[in-house]
């Protein structure tokens, strides 16, 4: 029985959903119903629901925030969004957050029943996968002894110091008798994401599952051995007495492994394939070439089979890396649009791909970009405490295994930086506008007060001051000054016996006639009439 939570701020909708279905018959148990997203978030840790059925538009915390929270903190919980026709744009945003599905309101019990039936089947499949992982864990304990795996790792890395390789292989019951050998290295592509979904030992089971699928295929062919190295990569040794047969078999087998992993494990792998060797004593060269080929995933992308021979002049003409794009990026971050920033980031990554620099050199260039961005923030007086909130970018990039991933990450990072810059500028602009207001209130009686005086006091250009002052107050400088002067004149007319010309002088007007015109325009009456009415 799967646990489900219902969340909707409309009582009739929430109760209607709860009471319209035979939940037990569908394989679900309603463990809670709530009127807003905040209650869902508070209860999720305790109730541990398998499914959350939530309205997209709720008070306090809406369905999108609930979905985002569950995605980050309870990634296995499935979310179904309830949405109206006029909320379809929100529903599309929810789909980007990887919700299971959405259903339009109003909906019928039959529609909801059909969706829940499909969800039940999907949950059953996931449960079976978890059970399969449990079985794989058992197989891991009962698989080949560690000594066999350790020996094979020493063989392919060239760390063996003994000459009697054949005798040791026979002792370990490893059959590698052939004329030709080839080594391939298989690596999981999205390790970071998988470790979030399957923390701790569960992620190790996924690596073992890759090795297990590869081993099953090789065992059917009876032309190789499969094992894991110390980096959780799967290593394959293929062998045959005929070089051409071995080459064709390698192409076919590795494609089948790649497809099978994606089909059964729902993630991708990349495979680096080394050169064919004619002796086991030289097999470590094939392994080294396989690792080198695998590194080109950084440039070519994920879910690929990369042969070492393909790297020999097959990548096209190298293009020198142009650091000018880095300077353009900093300029765009300071004053450009997100679209301009994205275009420049794409140019940088394209340039890195075409340069075919080593992975380490590429990482260094990206780190240099990050440091330049941090320097730009310092130039804008944005302190370390502000931009340090963005995790640890200099180390975070090493979790990215392709330039495509670095491109996506760098776009997001730059977007967050521009947000910080904009927020800081807005705060600074507000402070300057507040200072200007205070200055005007203190000096409104000065007949010489002007925008130039205020700008000189604030050390701002008149055009920039006009912009921020209007944004903050909704008024122009003259409009604001006039309003303050008229307000003060009203106070003096009401509370003193001063003559009109004296009040004009005290509020910054040398010409009483001009003061009368300004006052009447602002209040609809002359100062004399205003005083009589008071």
Least confident residue range of 419-423, 450-454, 496-500 = 419-423
> Does residue 383 lie within any of the structural domains?
yes
Backbone dihedral region for residue 186 (phi beyond 0: left; psi -120 to 50: alpha; all else: beta): beta
Q: Are residues 117 and 159 in the same domain?
A: no
> pLDDT, tens digit, for every residue of 506-534?
999 999 999 999 999 999 998 888 888 87
Backbone dihedral region for residue 80 (phi beyond 0: left; psi -120 to 50: alpha; all else: beta): beta
- Please tell me the predicted confidence (pLDDT) of residue 94: 61
Higher pLDDT, 85 or 468: 468
> Does residue 419 lie within any of the structural domains?
yes
> pLDDT, tens digit, for every residue of 203-261?
778 888 999 999 999 999 889 999 999 888 999 999 999 999 999 999 999 999 999 99
> Does residue 130 lie within any of the structural domains?
no
Q: Are residues 449 and 387 in the same domain?
A: no
Higher pLDDT, 98 or 366: 366
Question: β-strands 78-83, 101-104: how paired?
Answer: parallel
Q: Are residues 355 and 493 in the same domain?
A: no
Least confident residue range of 58-62, 133-137, 328-332, 344-348 = 133-137
- Please tell me the predicted confidence (pLDDT) of residue 472: 87
Tokens 């602002």 belong to residue: 522
Higher pLDDT, 165 or 179: 179
pLDDT over threshold 80, residue 98:
no
pLDDT over threshold 50, residue 170:
yes
Q: In what order do the strands lie in the sheet with 28-34?
A: 28-34, 2-7, 51-55, 78-83, 101-104
In the numeric block, which tokens belong to residue 299?
A: 């440039």
- Please tell me the predicted confidence (pLDDT) of residue 502: 92
> Does residue 434 lie within any of the structural domains?
no
Higher pLDDT, 528 or 181: 181
**Average pLDDT of every residue of the chain:** 87
Range list of β-strands (E), 9-132: 28-34, 51-55, 78-83, 101-104
Higher pLDDT, 134 or 390: 134
> pLDDT, tens digit, for every residue of 394-425?
778 887 888 888 999 999 999 888 888 888 77
Q: Are residues 473 and 402 in the same domain?
A: no
Q: Are residues 149 and 293 in the same domain?
A: yes
Q: Are residues 338 and 481 in the same domain?
A: no
Task: With cut-offs at 50, 70 and 90, classify the pLDDT of residue 88.
Answer: low
Nearest to 239 by CA among 178, 168, 155: 178
- Please tell me the predicted confidence (pLDDT) of residue 316: 56
Buried b (16+ CB within 10 A) or exposed e, 340-358: ebbebbeebbebbbbbbbe
- Please tell me the predicted confidence (pLDDT) of residue 479: 93
> Does residue 93 lie within any of the structural domains?
yes
Nearest-angstrom CA–CA distance, 407 and 356: 16
pLDDT over threshold 90, residue 201:
no
Q: Are residues 267 and 338 in the same domain?
A: no
Task: Say whether 77 sits in a helix, a strand or coil.
Answer: coil
Q: Count the neighbouring beta carbons within 10 Å of the beta carbon of residue 482.
A: 19
Nearest-angstrom CA–CA distance, 255 and 261: 10
- Please tell me the predicted confidence (pLDDT) of residue 143: 62
Q: 373: exposed, middle or buried (C-beta count within 10 Å: 0-12, 13-18, 19+)?
A: buried
Write the CA distances from 24 to 14, 30, 36, 61, 107, integer angstroms: 18, 9, 25, 29, 20
| Average of per-residue pLDDT across 51-75 | 90
Nearest-angstrom CA–CA distance, 154 and 151: 5
**Residue 510 is part of a domain; what is its CATH number?**
1.10.10.60
- Please tell me the predicted confidence (pLDDT) of residue 207: 87
Residues 154 and 160: beta-carbon distance below 8 Å: yes
In the numeric block, which tokens belong to residue 463?
A: 């055009």
Tally the domains of the chain.
Answer: 4
Write the CA distances from 347 to 324, 325, 344, 361, integer angstroms: 11, 7, 5, 17
Q: 232: exposed, middle or buried (C-beta count within 10 Å: 0-12, 13-18, 19+)?
A: middle
> pLDDT, tens digit, for every residue of 254-312?
999 999 999 998 899 999 999 999 999 899 999 999 999 998 888 888 899 999 877 65
Least confident residue range of 32-46, 240-254, 309-323, 501-515 = 309-323
Domain extent, residue 116, equals 2-125
Task: Say whether 112 sits in a helix, a strand or coil.
Answer: helix
Q: Are residues 95 and 73 in the same domain?
A: yes
Quick check: bond before 473 cis, omega within 30? Answer: no
User: What H or E segment, with its residue span, contains residue 348?
Assistant: helix 338-355
Task: Say whether 111 sits in a helix, a strand or coil.
Answer: helix
Domain end call among 280, 311, 342: 311
In the numeric block, which tokens belong to residue 336?
A: 């450009």
Residue 122's Cβ-side half-sphere holds a number of Cα atoms within 13 Å equal to 14
Q: Are residues 160 and 286 in the same domain?
A: yes
| Average of per-residue pLDDT across 352-359 | 82
pLDDT over threshold 90, residue 180:
yes
Return all residues near 328 (Cβ < 8 A) that are at least 6 apart.
Answer: 344
- Please tell me the predicted confidence (pLDDT) of residue 258: 95
Nearest to 4 by CA among 130, 114, 120, 109: 120
Q: To the nearest 5 percent, what fractions of the chain are helix, strand and coil?
A: 65, 10, 25
Nearest-angstrom CA–CA distance, 283 and 366: 35
In the numeric block, which tokens belong to residue 173?
A: 């019951």
- How many Å is the Cα radius of gyration of the chain? 35
- Please tell me the predicted confidence (pLDDT) of residue 385: 47
Question: β-strands 269-273, 305-307: how paired?
Answer: parallel
Least confident residue range of 79-88, 219-228, 459-468 = 79-88
**Residue 266 is part of a domain; what is its CATH number?**
3.30.70.270
- Please tell me the predicted confidence (pLDDT) of residue 92: 65
> Could you write out the three-class secondary structure of 457-476?
HHCCCHHHHHHHHHHHHCCC
> Does residue 438 lie within any of the structural domains?
no
Nearest-angstrom CA–CA distance, 44 and 50: 10
Q: Are residues 118 and 228 in the same domain?
A: no
Return all residues near 507 (Cβ < 8 A) that are at least 6 apart.
Answer: 444, 445, 485, 486, 488, 489, 492, 515
Displacement of CA 469 from its chain's centroid (Å): 36
> Does residue 180 lie within any of the structural domains?
yes
Nearest to 47 by CA among 10, 9, 2, 16: 2
- Euclidean distance between the first and final Cα of the chain, in Å? 77
> pLDDT, tens digit, for every residue of 379-397?
777 754 455 555 578 778 8
Higher pLDDT, 473 or 201: 473
Indicate the DSSP class of residue 277.
Answer: B
- Please tell me the predicted confidence (pLDDT) of residue 90: 63
| Average of per-residue pLDDT across 11-20 | 90
- Please tell me the predicted confidence (pLDDT) of residue 53: 94
In the numeric block, which tokens belong to residue 202?
A: 């569960």
Domain end call among 268, 290, 311: 311
> Does residue 134 lie within any of the structural domains?
no
**Residue 64 is part of a domain; what is its CATH number?**
3.40.50.2300
| Average of per-residue pLDDT across 97-125 | 87
Q: Are residues 292 and 150 in the same domain?
A: yes
Q: Are residues 275 and 180 in the same domain?
A: yes
Range list of β-strands (E), 274-368: 305-307
């Amino acid at each position: 029985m799967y646990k489900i939570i219902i969340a909707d701020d409309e009582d009739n909708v929430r109760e209607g959903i709860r009471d319209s279905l035979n939940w037990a018959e569908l394989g679900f148990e309603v463990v809670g119903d709530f009127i807003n997203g905040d209650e869902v978030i508070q209860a999720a840790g305790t109730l541990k629901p398998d499914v959350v059925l939530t309205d997209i538009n709720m008070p306090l915390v809406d369905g999108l925030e609930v979905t985002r929270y569950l995605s980050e903190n309870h990634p296995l919980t499935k979310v179904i969004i309830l949405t109206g026709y006029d909320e379809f744009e929100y529903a599309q945003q929810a789909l980007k957050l990887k919700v299971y599905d959405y259903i339009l309101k109003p909906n019928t019990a039959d529609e909801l029943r059909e969706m829940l039936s499909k969800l039940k089947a999907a949950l059953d499949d996931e449960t079976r996968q978890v059970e399969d992982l449990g079985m794989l864990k058992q197989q891991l304990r009962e698989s080949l002894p560690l000594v066999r795996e350790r020996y094979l790792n020493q063989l392919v890395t060239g760390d063996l110091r003994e000459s009697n390789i054949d005798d040791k292989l026979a002792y370990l019951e490893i059959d590698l008798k052939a004329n030709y050998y080839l080594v391939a290295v298989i690596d999981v592509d999205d390790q970071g994401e998988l470790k979030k979904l399957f923390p701790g030992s569960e992620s190790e089971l996924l690596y073992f599952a890759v090795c297990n699928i590869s081993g099953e295929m090789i065992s059917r062919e009876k032309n190789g051995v499969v094992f894991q190295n110390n980096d959780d990569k799967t290593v394959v040794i293929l062998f045959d007495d005929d070089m051409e047969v071995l080459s064709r078999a390698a192409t076919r087998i590795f494609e089948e492994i790649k497809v099978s992993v994606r089909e059964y494990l729902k993630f991708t792998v990349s495979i680096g394939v080394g050169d064919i060797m004619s002796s086991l004593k030289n097999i470590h060269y094939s392994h080294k070439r396989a690792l080198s080929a695998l590194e080109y995933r950084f440039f070519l992308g994920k879910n690929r089979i990369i042969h070492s021979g393909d790297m020999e002049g097959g990548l096209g003409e190298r293009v020198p890396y142009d650091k000018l794009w880095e300077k353009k990026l900093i300029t765009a971050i300071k004053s450009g649009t997100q679209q301009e920033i994205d275009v420049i980031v794409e140019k940088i990554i394209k340039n890195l791909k075409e340069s075919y620099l080593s992975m380490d050199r590429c990482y260094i260039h990206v780190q240099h970009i990050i440091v330049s961005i941090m320097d730009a923030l310092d130039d804008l007086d944005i302190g370390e405490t502000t931009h340090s909130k963005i995790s640890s970018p200099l180390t975070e990039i090493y979790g990215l295994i392709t330039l495509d991933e670095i491109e996506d990450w760098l776009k997001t990072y730059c977007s967050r930086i521009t947000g910080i810059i904009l927020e800081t500028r807005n705060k600074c602009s507000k402070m300057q506008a507040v200072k200007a207001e205070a200055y005007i209130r203190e000096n409104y009686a000065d007949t010489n007060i002007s925008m130039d005086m205020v700008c000189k006091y604030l050390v701002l250009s008149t055009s920039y001051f006009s912009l921020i002052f209007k944004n903050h107050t909704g008024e122009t400088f003259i409009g604001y000054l006039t309003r303050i002067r008229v307000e003060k004149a009203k106070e003096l007319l009401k509370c003193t016996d001063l003559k009109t010309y004296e009040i004009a002088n005290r509020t910054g007007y040398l010409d009483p006639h001009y003061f009368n015109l300004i006052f009447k325009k602002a209040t609809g009456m002359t100062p004399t009439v205003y005083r009589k009415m008071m």
